[in-house]
Chains A and B, each alone.
Chain A
Amino acid sequence: MSDHPLLAAADLDAVPCTAPEPLTPAAIAARVARDIEPGSFVNLGIGQPTLVADHLPPDAGIVLHTENGMLHMGPAATGGPEDPIDPDLTNAGKQPVTERPGASYFHQADSFAMMRGGHLDVCVLGAFQVSVAGDLANWHTGAPDAVPGVGGAMDLAVGARRLVVMMTLFAKDGSPKLVPSCTYPLTGVGCVQRVYTDAAILDVGPHLPGAVLVETFGITAAELAARLR
């Protein structure tokens, strides 16, 4: 066992630092996209994960699922002559989108059966906190006057075959969003496999002895380990 509160024992010198600066949201999205296998069925959560779509190779046959009932979702509709805005066609964030050839539509019970039934290969979600055991907190800050909203986050957390999170590694106050155990209300237990952040990629999960650093950006693994204490 590691004596580090978050990280599994590892040779930190062997973890590559692959970028001179911390990654921008677009660069994190590109890095997430690079790890998605050709031909995958993918759901991108609302917010920053939607950026991943911009970095998927067009010839990789990756199919986007949107939980409001569509496969083969295309890019955002701009309202131009090629992609007019259709009020009956939006993504899960209620933004107007387009359809790709091969698209299909289905109702909500089917859309979520598809999810829970293990038919989606990858889901990318944002998070407030992720624990080293892969617990996810992304729906509620727990503040007493906050209006909670869960949408499809809990369904995606239990359903996707591979759930990865895209977030900044540190909150605005400097505290890590990778935590020994989540203090915000949980979305799912032990469901996250990998966390892509501006400072590093880490593997997490209930069967690991701690988070495992895969790659760092703009900081060495040893420096980052010290900041995560």
Chain B
Amino acid sequence: MIRRRRSVAPMTARVCDDVDAALADVPDGATVLIGGFGKVGMPVALVDGLIRQGASDLVIVSNNAGNGDTGIAALLAAGRVRKVVCSYPRQTDSWVFDRLYRAGEVELELVPQGTLAERMRAAGAGIGAFYCPTGAGTPLAEGKEVRDFDGRPHVLELPLRGDVALIRAHRADRLGNLVYRKTARNFGPVMATAARTVVVEVGDVVEIGALDPETVVTPGIYVDRIVRVP
């Protein structure tokens, strides 16, 4: 007998009333993917919410390791981060990370930027591992399997999954379909595929059908929760 599909409304992302409701269940020890390239595309309200929420012993995956004294830097300063996985922690205003790293109070896994993105893409696409030429023959390949393809050494890289992803998009519909803006897109579409729970702050939430399907970058299947943060 063919089971009829449930007749309820199609699976929708939950539009949360506020940031705190969207982040209430982030557990201690979670791996949290945080979008943004520096401040561009950074889900600032969600990161502030994560600080209020109080989860600790976190592993943060993001391109950078915080700017100034706000956002990821404030999360680090509050002592809530065990490890940072990123490509470029060192910036002119990364003094919080620099101090904790030099004091041995935060662990760093440095990953080339493209490998960081591709490891999350692999996680979201069900790829078990991949060979990548980036980093072959450098200190970042130490301890990893290296194999030649087409006469070139490639490094075996493993998928990078999150328990939670926090990203910012320009606009969402109530199904969680997302549209980004300019270079603020950066890590959002990849991180949205790579975490068990994906929370998105958006400038605007529109009704179903209001986004041109041809322009949707992240389909709503990946998105669990939306918070409007103008």
Contacts and interface: CB of A to CB of B under 8 A. Distances in A.
Contacts, number: 145
A112 B134 CA distance: 10
A39 to B, nearest CB: 24
Interface string B24-63: 0000000000000111110000000000000000000001
B90 A189 contact: no
B96 to A, nearest CB: 11
A88 B182 contact: yes
Contact of A109 (B121, B135, B138): B121
Contacts of B153: 189
Interface in A180-197: 185-189
A188 B113 contact: no
Interface residues of B, number: 50
A186 B115 contact: no
A155 B186 contact: no
Nearest to B152: A158
Interface stretch (A22-30, A63-71, A163-171, A214-222): A63-71
Contacts of B112: 150-155
A107 B136 CA distance: 24
B139 interface: yes
Contact of B137 (A66, A111, A189): A189
Query: Per DSSP, are chain A's interface residues mostly helix, strand or loop, or mixed?
Result: loop
Interface string A80-118: 000000111110001000010000011111011101100
Chain A interface bracket (under 10, 10 to 19, 20 to 34, 35 or more): 35 or more
B181 A116 contact: no
B69 interface: no
Interface string B89-110: 1110010011001100000101
B202 interface: no
Contacts of A148: 89-90, 108, 110
B87 A116 contact: no
A150 to B, nearest CB: 5
A86 B110 CA distance: 30
A1 interface: no
B39 A108 contact: no
B133 A116 contact: yes
A147 B187 contact: no
Interface string A35-79: 000000000000000000000000000000011111000000000
A132 to B, nearest CB: 16
A187 B217 CA distance: 33
A109 B190 contact: yes
B188 A107 contact: yes
A153 B190 CA distance: 20
A174 to B, nearest CB: 27
A149 interface: yes
A13 interface: no
Residue among A108, A115, A158 having the largest count of chain B Cβ atoms under 10 Å? A108
B118 interface: yes
Given A87-B40, A147-B97, A149-B89, A154 B183 contact: no
Interface of A: 66-70, 86-90, 94, 99, 105-109, 111-113, 115-116, 135, 140, 145, 147-155, 157-159, 185-189
